[in-house]
Amino acid sequence: MLSKKVIPMFFVVIILISLIFINCDKSNQEKAKINPTLKEPEIEIIELEEKVPPTIAVSEWSVINEEEYVKRSILILNGTIIDKKEYVIKNKRNDRYTAEYYKTVYSVKVSDIYHSDDKEVIVGETIKIMSPVTSYTWDPEAVQIEKGQEFIFFTGLVRDMETSSGTVKLTDLAKYFIGNPFGPIISVKEDSFKFDPVFKSLSSNATIEEQKISDNYSKEILVRNDENFIQDLKEMISKYK
């Protein structure tokens, strides 16, 4: 039989152990407030209203030569902009941090095809082309693309984006992309073609037009108005494809 002295000591030990667990629980709760536990990652694709005026972003695009533009292209086409939509992809990693990726998707009606590794695309259909430039991440040197305008695009295939939180299904938004906002885009207006000087094979018979980027900086754009431009374009493509 336990003595009267042993029994009180037993209850004292139980009380002390209980207090330790209570304090540990409070400590863990305080730590959770400071460093919130990672929740299940969330990936959302949200359509945006175009921002006016646009937010200027730092230009980070690499300029490559005409050979690389042609070789990297899956589809080179002439088309008219039917519609455009801007999206933000939000990758919520925890309660404190959400990564955001901005994209523009153009609906383009194909009027001519100069090269295609994709045999399914045909003249007359409407395709989706994705661009990394939006009114939320605008590059001052980018070609302004609006509804009703006509362009020649050098495009690659869109790939889904892998993140630490999972896969972003970019292929649900578009099939093709332009990876550079000014190089692989030729503006077409009636019989006039405006393009980047990187296309040296197209520079014969071209005049130089100054495009004002800022108060302190202008960029040279080449312009051709002759009927031989498309033939020269096809010859340039066949040289590298």
Q: What's the confidence (pLDDT) of residue 13?
A: 41
Label residue 92 by pLDDT band (50, 70, 90).
confident
**166, part of any domain:** yes
Q: 16 versus 47: which is more confidently predicted?
A: 47
Closest CA to 165 of 96, 91, 227, 110: 91
Specify whether the CB–CB gap between 110 and 122 falls below 8 A.
yes
The verdict on residue 30 lying in a domain is no
Say whether pLDDT at 26 is over 80.
Answer: no
Report cis status (omega within 30 of 0) of the bond before 53. yes
Total number of domains in the chain: 1
**pLDDT tens readout for residues 31-87:** 333 334 444 558 888 999 998 888 887 666 677 899 999 999 999 999 999 999 999
120: pLDDT strictly greater than 60: yes
Q: Residue 6: what are its φ and ψ, rounded to 5°?
A: -70, -40
Residues 65 and 164: their CA atoms lie apart, in Å, by: 33
Q: Taking the CB of residue 180, how many other CB atoms lie within 10 A of it? A: 23
pLDDT confidence of residue 135: 94
Q: Give the Cα separation of 133 and 14 in Å (integer).
A: 65
pLDDT at 32: 33
- Residue 59: helix, strand or coil by DSSP? coil
So what's the pLDDT on residue 61? 64
Tell me the two tokens of residue 84.
């455009």
d(CA 140, CA 90): 25
CA angle, 176 then 45 then 173, to 5°: 20
The pLDDT score that the predictor gives to residue 123 is 97
3-state secondary structure of 28: helix
Residue 150 lies in a domain: yes
pLDDT digits (tens, 9 = 90+) for 128-172: 999 989 999 988 888 999 999 999 999 999 999 888 778 889 999
Domain extent, residue 55, equals 42-190
* CA 88, chain centre distance (Å): 9
- pLDDT computed for residue 22 by the predictor: 42
Q: Is residue 25 part of a domain?
A: no
Asked whether residue 160 is domain-assigned, the answer is: yes
* pLDDT tens digit sequence for 182-236: 778 999 998 899 999 999 999 999 999 998 877 788 889 999 999 999 999 999 9
Is 225 domain-assigned?
no
Consecutive H or E run containing 29: helix 6-34
- What one-character-per-residue DSSP string does 65-127 give? -HHHHHHH-SEEEEEEEEEEEEEEEEEE-SSS-EEEEEEEEEEEEEEEEEEES-TT--TT-EE
Return the CATH number at 164: 2.40.50.120
Q: Is residue 140 part of a domain?
A: yes
pLDDT of residue 8: 53
Is residue 29 scored above 50 in pLDDT? no
Label residue 181 by pLDDT band (50, 70, 90).
confident
Residue 20 lies in a domain: no
